[in-house]
Chain A
Amino acid sequence: MPDPAIEFREVTFARPPALPVLDRFRLTVEAGEVVAMVGRSGAGKTTLLKLVNRLLLPQAGAVLVQGRDTRDWEPIQLRRRIGYVLQEVGLFPHMTVGGNVSVVPRLERWPPERVDRRVSELLELVGLNAQQFGPRWPDELSGGQRQRVGVARALAVDPPVLLMDEPFGALDPLTRAELHAEFRRIQSRVRKTVIIVTHDMGEAFALGDRVGVLDEGHLVTCDLPHRVAASNDIRVRRLLDALPSVPRAHTDAAAAEHPSESGRTASAPPGDGR
């Protein structure tokens, strides 16, 4: 059995004087697995991601990426092996779409032809016409298109790990559903190890191979979606009940959503309906 892609070992992270954001947190993510972490605002979701790419270091315990403690990784090297998609996308406004997507390849000093080839490949992968979108500027894109560019940028040097922080949070429901389907399509091709954090249980069910629930620094559960949906834990139920858009706690209901969403995606006009 190879090392798990990402492992949290009894990780504690606190910003004194507040209570610990994460308290003896344990989680193992296998290579090629998508784990969706759900929690309310301030539950420590973003902290979780930042511990993986060493934007933060744990005060106790250890985070292991590909079997190696993040403390032992050279931070720049580590980060270039980890794609990061942010909620506000964080596209550089002074660079074109092509420029944004090619940031890391250029940092890695790839030869220009290879960079160009990779940009076209990635834009096509995320469903954008490279010729048409490559020279555009971020503020000329719709929210959905920007997210697609954000994903393409994160995948640029084919990193084994992808971290996504509320990646589709700011989108309208239709576009979001479309991108969920897109994400699953892309993931089926690239097979990355992915941690997605979201406050939306529905999104977690739609994307995660496993769904984790984070509450006050503890991992309440991390299991297959239908088992989480069936959980009787009050902290899980609270998240499920708080969201009217969440399907009823039936395995079938969650599963039944998918084909209808895909159908919608197929009939939606290009350009995310904007």
Chain B
Amino acid sequence: MKAVLTFWALHRGELAALLGQHVLLVATATLVAVALGVPLGIFAARRPRVAAPIVACANIVQTVPSLAMFGFLLPVPLVGGVGARAALVVLILYGLLPIVRTTIAGLRGIDPSIRDAGIAMGMTSGELLRQVELPLALPSIVAGVRVAAVVGVGSATIAAAIGAGGLGEYIYRGLSMVDTTVILAGAIPAALLALSVDGALLWLERQLSARRRTRSVRTALGAAAAVMVIVLISSGAASGRAHGAMVVGSKNFTEQLILGEVVAQSIEREGIPVQRRMNLGGTLICDRALLNGDIDAYVEYTGTALTAVFHQPIQPDSSTVFAAVRALYARTGRTLLPALGFNNTFAILVRGDEARSRRLQTIEDAARESSHWRAGFGYEFVGRPDGYPGLVAAYGLRFPQPPRVMDLTLSYRALASGQVDLIAGDATAGLIKALDLVQLEDNRHYFPPYDAAVVARAETLLRQPKARAALERLAGRISAADMRAMNYAADVEHQDITAIARTFLSRIH
């Protein structure tokens, strides 16, 4: 706990910014969900025949896991892509169901004799709605808003995966660094935020259910609405890209965060402002974001680009792969800059003690043991053409059970603690040394080369020649040893990533 407090103290500004983003995201999404959901609920309550399909649709939306939803939205124009806008769309969709449902329930729950009285007194349907039905359904509607807002606070943490920012950024960063302190630094304020939103709206709900509708409550409602509108307008103003800034992205593991920071700082040294959109949830999200122009540059690995992005067959030669990928990127308006200097191949890892006692050196050696082993792999590795299926075929591995699929960074810990016996990690991971793991040699050259290189939008590079020059100066400057040392500094020594990148850049310049 003390570590978390220290972390917060050190990152006060960042914490406040992330918290602000989080609140903004949830508040905006909830407000829009209310603006759409309440009229939809009113419409449905009056026409029972359409109520069922509307609720069913909202139900289905709710059952789609939020990460999958972000995935679906990636290629959708206007609303999709990465960043706060796509996150907003997902959160609004999630918020709709509870609000529609409680609006319907609130309206249907009104004593029919009260509605009859209103009609018999000569109220038009609009007057009945405004003066009788909505005021009576309000506590129920607020209950729905409360559910929507609390669910929103939770879902918004996942939105960090598509670069929407918020407290989820700490959670993802913590997960990728296997650093509980950082995870808690994001999770605790997110939980507190959820609790306080819940409490505040519960209070409002109680006030509204009470028979006395005092002036102060009405004032409070009005004030709350006004605050949300102001927040909304200011967010609209703030969400635009800063003029002339370049957006640098990264995937969601330590090495990518460091490389993203190295790229960002190199550009900043040229006096060009940089907006960071780190921690994007995977290769395809980054690729899509680059294609859409949501980000201008990120670091990709040639083998990954070849197989996962462009679906080309695996090739063993480093320079052939580089040339092929460079050409493929050029066709889609993107430039692959010269390689950074290290090859982050997949490292098939086993526990050090096991490797020594059984004299394991190559993956071939491991194939002998595989019949009584359990493997654990990251999500990407299991699905990629250059991943698990090909590896099994190339080496004749025979695991008795299908591999356990888990977060890449967690798989190092799972291996070290004996929950699995073989994983596919990154060759440059700092944790390999820290956890006493041994990399088995790919003696059949199954894995293609994974040379790290910056890929950027060609259009941006044309506009920013100084940025291009700065990035080209990084060519060949990051050795595998450098990368491993930086990963070690982040994952094991828990050094600040910004500082690691800064130290490194000062050293090579």
Q: Convert B122-153 into 0s and 1s, putting 1 for each residue whose CB lies closer than 8 angstroms to a CB of A.
A: 11100100011001100000000000000000
Contact residues in A for B68 (Cβ distance below 8 Å): none
24 contacts between A and B (CB under 8 A): A55-B116, A75-B122, A76-B122, A77-B122, A79-B119, A79-B120, A79-B121, A79-B122, A80-B121, A80-B122, A84-B117, A84-B121, A86-B117, A90-B111, A92-B117, A92-B131, A103-B118, A103-B123, A103-B131, A104-B122, A107-B121, A107-B123, A138-B211, A163-B120
CA distance A138 to B113 in the complex (A): 15
**A67-85 interface bits toward B, Cβ cutoff 8 Å, 1 = contact, 0 = none:** 0000000011111101010
Asked if B113 contacts A86 (CB within 8 A), the reply is yes
Q: How far is the CA of A94 from the CA of B116 in the complex (A)?
A: 16
- Of all A-B residue pairs in the complex, the 5 with the closest CB atoms, nearest first, are A90-B117, A79-B122, A80-B122, A84-B120, A88-B113
- Which A residues contact B (CB, under 8 angstroms)? 53, 55, 75-80, 82, 84, 86-94, 103-104, 107, 137-139, 153, 163
Known: A80-B122, A84-B117. 8 other contacts (CB 8 A): A88-B111, A90-B111, A93-B114, A94-B135, A104-B122, A107-B122, A107-B123, A138-B211
Residues of B within 8 A of A91 (CB): 114, 117
B167 → A minimal CB distance (Å): 38
Contact with A along B200-239 (1 / 0, CB 8 A): 0000000000011100000000000000000000000000
Cross-interface CB contact of A137 among B111, B123, B212, cutoff 8 Å: B212
- B245 CB, nearest partner CB in chain A, Å: 51
**Complexed CA–CA distance, A79 and B116 (Å):** 12
- B124 contact set on A, CB distance < 8 A: 76
> How far is A163 from B122 in the complex, measured between Cα atoms in Å?
14
Contacts of B131 in A (CB 8 A): 92, 103
Q: Which residue of B lies closest to A50 (CB)?
A: B120
Residues of B within 8 A of A139 (CB): 211
Smallest beta-carbon distance A74→chain B, Å: 10
A76 to B124, CA, bound (A): 7
> If A92-B132, A93-B136 touch, does A104 touch B213 (CB 8 Å cutoff)?
no
Cα-based distance from A209 to B135 in the complex (angstroms): 41
Give the CA-CA distance A103 to B124 in the complex, in Å: 13
Question: Which residues of chain B have C-beta atoms less than 8 A from A92's C-beta?
Answer: 114, 117-118, 131-132, 136
Which residue of chain A has the shortest Cβ distance to B213 in the bound complex?
A: A94
Interface size on B, residues (CB 8 A): 20
A137: chain B residues at CB < 8 Å are 211-212
A104 to B124, CA, bound (A): 11
Inter-chain CA distance A84–B116, complex, in Å, is 10
Q: Which residues of B contact A103 (CB under 8 A)?
A: 118, 121, 123, 131
Cα distance A89–B120 in the bound complex, in angstroms: 12
Contacts of B120 in A (CB 8 A): 53, 55, 79, 82, 84, 86, 163
Within 8 Å CB of A87, what residues of B? 113
The distance in angstroms between the C-alpha atoms of A163 and B239, with both chains bound, is 60
Cα–Cα, bound, A153→B123 (Å): 14
Q: Judging by beta carbons under 8 Å apart, are B122 and A94 in contact?
A: no
**Given A53-B120, A79-B122, A80-B121: A94 and B113 interface contact (C-beta under 8 Å):** no
A94 x B211 contact (CB < 8 A): yes
- Chain B residues in 8 Å Cβ range of A76: 122-124
Which residues of chain A have C-beta atoms less than 8 A from B114's C-beta?
90-93
Q: Point out the residues of chain B lying under 8 angstroms from A80, CB to CB.
A: 121-122
Residues of A within 8 A of B213 (CB): 94
Bound-state CA distance A78–B119 (Å) is 11
A88–B110 Cα gap in the complex (Å)?
Answer: 14
Report the bound CA distance from A111 to B121 in whole Å. Answer: 19
A-side contacts of B136, CB under 8 Å: 92-94
A78 vs B190: C-alpha distance when bound (angstroms):
57
The docked-state distance in angstroms from the alpha carbon of A111 to that of B451 is 80
Write out the residue numbers on chain A whose beta carbons fall within 8 Å of the beta carbon of B111: 88, 90
Contacts of A153 on B, CB cut-off 8 Å? Answer: 121
In Å, the complex CA distance between A183 and B246 comes to: 81
For A89, what are the chain B residues with a Cβ–Cβ distance below 8 Å?
A: 113, 117
The reply to whether B119 and A86 form a contact with Cβ atoms under 8 Å apart is no
Q: Which residues of B lie under 8 Å from residue A78 when comparing CB positions?
A: 122
B211 A90 Cβ-Cβ under 8 A: no
Chain B 81-113: CB-based contact to A (< 8 A → 1; otherwise 0): 000000000000000000000000000000101
> How far apart are A105's CB and chain B's nearest CB, in angstroms?
11
Nearest residue, chain A, Cβ from B208: A94
User: Contact at A90–B212, with CB atoms within 8 Å?
Assistant: no
Closest B residue by C-beta to A80: B122
In whole angstroms, how far apart are the Cα atoms of A80 and B135 in the complex?
A: 22
| Residue contact B119 to A55, C-beta cutoff 8 Å | yes
Question: Are A86's CB and B135's CB within 8 A?
Answer: no
Complex CA distance for A38 and B123, rounded to whole angstroms: 29
A82: B residues at CB distance < 8 A: 120
Q: How far is the CA of A79 from the CA of B135 in the complex (A)?
A: 23
- Rounded to whole Å, the gap between the CB of A251 and the closest CB of chain B is 36
Distance between Cα atoms of A137 and B213 in the complex (Å): 10
Which residue of chain B is the closest to A79 with respect to CB atoms?
A: B122
Determine which of B116, B122, B132 lies in contact with A86 in the assembled complex, contact meaning CB atoms within 8 Å: B116
B494 to chain A, nearest CB (A): 56
A77: nearest residue on chain B (CB-CB)?
A: B122
Closest residue of B by beta carbon distance from A154: B121
CA distance A75 to B211 in the complex (A): 32
In the bound complex, how far is the Cα of B131 from the Cα of A88, in angstroms? 19
Q: How far is the CA of A260 from the CA of B116 in the complex (A)?
A: 36
Contact assessment for A90 and B122 in the assembled complex, using a CB-CB cutoff below 8 Å: no
Q: Could you tell me the distance in whole angstroms from the C-beta of B134 to the nearest C-beta in chain A?
A: 10
Bound-state Cα–Cα, A107 to B116, Å: 16
Q: How far is the CA of A91 from the CA of B123 in the complex (A)?
A: 14
CA distance A163 to B131 in the complex (A): 23
- Give CA–CA (A54, B136) in the complex, Å: 25
Beta-carbon nearest neighbor of B117 in chain A: A90
A163 cross-chain contacts in B, Cβ below 8 A: 120
What B residues does A55 contact at CB under 8 A? Answer: 116, 119-120
Complex Cα–Cα for A93 and B121 (A): 16
